[in-house]
Amino acid sequence: MAEEHGARAMFVAGGTDLFPKLKRRQFEVETLIGLDFLPRVIRNGSTECAIDAGVTLATAAHDSHLQAGFTGYAQAAGLVSSPPLRNAGTIGGNLCVDTRCNYYDMTYEWRKAAGFCIKKDGDICLVAPSSPRCWAVSSSDTAPMAIALDGVVGLAGPEGDRELPVSALYRDDGIEYMAKRPAEVLTGLRLRKSANTRSAYVKLRRRGSIDFPIAGAAVAMELDGESVIGCRIVLSAVASYPLEAAAAEKFLKGKRLDQETIREAAELAAKPAKPLDNADLSHFWRKRMVRVVVEQAIQRVSDQRAGFGG
C-alpha cells in the first residue's frame, strides 16, 4: 500500500511526531497508513533484547529487564517528551522521528512569512544560507543509545525483509535523514551487549520534561573491573544524524576509569559536535555543554560498575 501511494502516503504509529507536523503543514499527505497492527512485545535475554517497533516509550522505560540490563536505553525512552506522549509514542516512531530546526518546526503562516527553506517548499537554508544542504538536527533520544548498544533494526518492505545496524540507518542530511526506503516499515529493534556492559543516557533540555534534547550523550561500556574493554559514545542533537565520538572511544579502550580519564574522554567526544543556531538556547552554550553531558554519562556508567545503581 505504501508503495502504491508513494510520497502521498505516510506511516503513522503513535502520531506524536507526525500529527503536530501535519497540522503545521510540514508534511502534506493524502493517506495515512496506521501501524497499529505492529506487535508490541519485548523479548529480554541477558545479552540480547528484542523490542517490537509498536512498543510504547512508556512500556520500554518501565520494563524492569531493560532497566537492569540495557539501562541507558530505558533511561533514554523515559526521557523522551512527557508522560502522556510516551504512552502513545512508539520506539519505532522514535527511531524515525523527523529532524528538527527552529526555522522548520513552525506553522505554515510563520514559514511563509519568514520565507520557506529547502526542507519544505523553499530553496535556501535559513540557518546557513550559503550551504546547499539542510542542517536540521537529529533529535531522537533513543537512536544514539540504540547505536551505542549495538542495535539492529528489522525492516519489512515490498522487496522483502532485511536487517540494518542502527548506525547505518541514518544519513548526514537534514532532509533525507534515513537510509531506510520510504515504503519500508521498521518492525523491531534488537539491542546487543556483553555480560559486563553498562550503559547510561544523559539529556540536556530547557525544562525537565516535554522538550526535545539540545544535547545528549549515550554511553555503553564493556568493563573488566576498572578497565574499559570496549566503549561506544554517541551524541544526540548535535548533527543531522546521531554522531559517534570515535576518537573518545578509541582513547578510552584499555584505560582505567578515573576522573582524569573521564574528563579527557569527554573533551575528545565533544570536539566533533558542531551545533548550529537552529535549536533551543545558544549554540555556543550547547557546544560547551556537550562535554558536560558526556562526562556525566561516563560517570554514571562508572557508578553502576561500583554498584551505586543508575
Q: By C-beta, is 25 or 255 nearer to other proteins?
A: 25
State the residues that interact with ligand FAD by CB under 6 A. 10-18, 20, 35, 53, 57, 80-81, 85, 88-90, 92-94, 96-97, 139-141, 185-186, 210-213
The three grid cell numbers given for residue 303, joined into one nine-digit string: 557508578
Residue pair 213/237 in contact by the 8 Å Cβ criterion = yes
**Could you give the string, one character per residue 263-292, with x where binding to ligand SF4 holds by CB under 6 A and - elsewhere?**
---------------x--------------
| Measured distance CA(308)–CA(20) in Å, rounded | 40
SS3 251: helix
Tally of helices (H runs) and strands (E runs) in the chain: 12, 11
Stretch that binds ligand SF4, among 10-18, 80-88, 130-138, 281-289 (CB under 6 A): 130-138
* Binding flag, residue 156, other proteins (CB under 8 A): no
Q: Which of 9, 10, 11, 16 binds other proteins (CB under 8 A)?
A: 16
Closest among 296, 235, 300, 238 to 269, alpha carbons compared: 235
User: Which positions ≥6 away from 198 have C-beta within 8 Å?
Assistant: 71, 220, 221, 223, 301, 304, 305
- Of residues 191-220, which lie at the interface with other proteins (CB under 8 A)? 208-210
From the list other proteins, ligand FAD, ligand SF4, none, partner contacted by residue 141 (C-beta under 5 to 8 A by kind): ligand FAD
- Of residues 153-212, which lie at the interface with ligand SF4 (CB under 6 A)? 174
The three grid cell numbers given for residue 220, joined into one nine-digit string: 555503553
The residue ranges that bind ligand SF4 (CB under 6 A) are 101, 103-104, 117-119, 125-127, 134-136, 174, 278
